[in-house]
Structure 1
Amino acid sequence: MIDTREFGRSPGSSRNYTLSPPAPAGFGLDMIRVSEGETLELDLLLEAVVEGVLVSGTVRANASGECARCLDPVSEEVEVEVQELFAYPDSATDTSTDEDEVSRVVEDLVDLEPLVRDTVLPSLPAAPLCSPECPGLCSGCGAKWVDLGPEHRHETMDPRWAALRERFGGLEEEN
């Protein structure tokens, strides 16, 4: 939360903020996340405009998780640009928009958490990879393909043929 009374409501007045809040719980996706308590770096400019407070700047965070193919640990630095208008109570924007369309200044405070969450989460990869060439895991035994030799194979047989193999004892051909 930032108190907007520090720079006033005169259009054109502004203030720079450099903040390092901890990441809240549940700040991520299934395979990658910003750990709870991890420091978020916010470099923001808050400007008073006629309709409210315009927040713009950058957010940086370190995300960590698992490779979607081999489950090795991955980490990624995320940097995103943010820009959002927080409407003053009883402004034209406040009265002409639905509550979920525009953020609001509430009791002269701007709540940055929804803005940061809504900007950072979509920038995280849904399927993070340790490298673009990651071959993943063997579907037969679950070992990493990187650790297995090129001769690694699993004999698989179509289950519809298994009864014939049992009855006739193998795949030998008759000459």
Structure 2
Amino acid sequence: MPADTTARSRSSAPRAHGAGFVLDVRSLGRAPGSMRELRRTVITTERLGLDLVGVPVGAEVELDLRMQSVSEGVLVTGTFDAPVTGECSRCLEQFTDTVQLSLTELFAYPDSATDQTADDDEVYRMRDDLIDLEPLVVDQLGLELPLQPLCSPDCQGLCPECGVRMAIAGSDHGHEILDPRWAGLAKFAPGSPGSGSPDKGAATGNHPTDTARNSTEEN
């Protein structure tokens, strides 16, 4: 997996306030049951995804979220919708698609029991009343996107002999493959050089050698 798709630490500090995937939850408060809904369009500044398929730079990502205070932190639920671009693992052609993630994750308060007892890679954490969704999104994309993406479910890939895309080659595309065990016999095919096929003179019985022998016998 390339550097731009490596999962970020769940306990890393959020980026500057105002960044697309960073949520400010100060207005939510910490009273359990407090809830706030948020819809936001984020323009990606880096590629998110896997080697062959991912959300490209400059893509418009739609976030539809609900943030709810609970005793240990803020529970974030909602959806992430984004376009993806990729390279087909069969025919190597570029393709476009969309991806939707269903998000449900707890972001632990600092110094909460969850924060103090969970390892860094076991829980996402808040910092300074800010929640950074990007590590969660990166992790979820890694699970949702296919390691071997296809431009279409019935992609036929490439011709193993000439490399042409089978989608454009036509139904009659094919290659005559000679079994290598019989390749040595090809030179004996009728009409091939050195095949030993009788020439015209031999066919009529007038080969020069035969003519000379007949003349000697007559004398």
2:85 partner amino acid:
S
2:191 is the alignment partner of 1:170: no
Alignment correspondent of 1:132: 153
1:141 partner amino acid:
C
2:65 is the alignment partner of 1:48: no
Q: Residues of 1 paired with 2:79 and 2:52: CA distance?
A: 24
Gaps of at least 5 residues in structure 1 are none
| Partner residue of 1:99 out of 113, 120, 129 | 120
Q: Residues of 2 paired with 1:28 and 1:125: CA distance?
A: 10
How big is the shift at 1:77? 1.5
Two-structure CA RMSD over aligned residues (Å):
2.3
- Please give the secondary structure, in 2, of the residue aligned with 1:20: strand
1:66 partner amino acid:
E
Alignment correspondent of 1:111: 132
- Please give the secondary structure, in 1, of the residue aligned with 2:187: coil
> What is the aligned-residue identity percentage?
45
Give the alignment of 1:5-44 within 5 angstroms.
5-44=26-65
How big is the shift at 1:157? 4.8
Q: Is this contact kept in 2: 1:74–1:128, CA < 8 A?
A: no
Alignment correspondent of 1:83: 104
Please, which moves more after superposition, 115-124 or 4-13?
115-124
Corresponding residue pairs, total: 170
Q: Is this contact kept in 2: 1:27–1:121, CA < 8 A?
A: no
Q: Residues of 2 paired with 1:96 and 1:60: CA distance?
A: 33
- Please give the secondary structure, in 1, of the residue aligned with 2:81: strand
How big is the shift at 1:169? 5.3
Q: Residues of 2 paired with 1:127 and 1:20: CA distance?
A: 29
Gaps of at least 5 residues in structure 2 are 1-21, 196-219
> TM-score, normalization: structure 1?
0.86
How big is the shift at 1:153? 2.8
Greater helix percent: which structure? Answer: 2
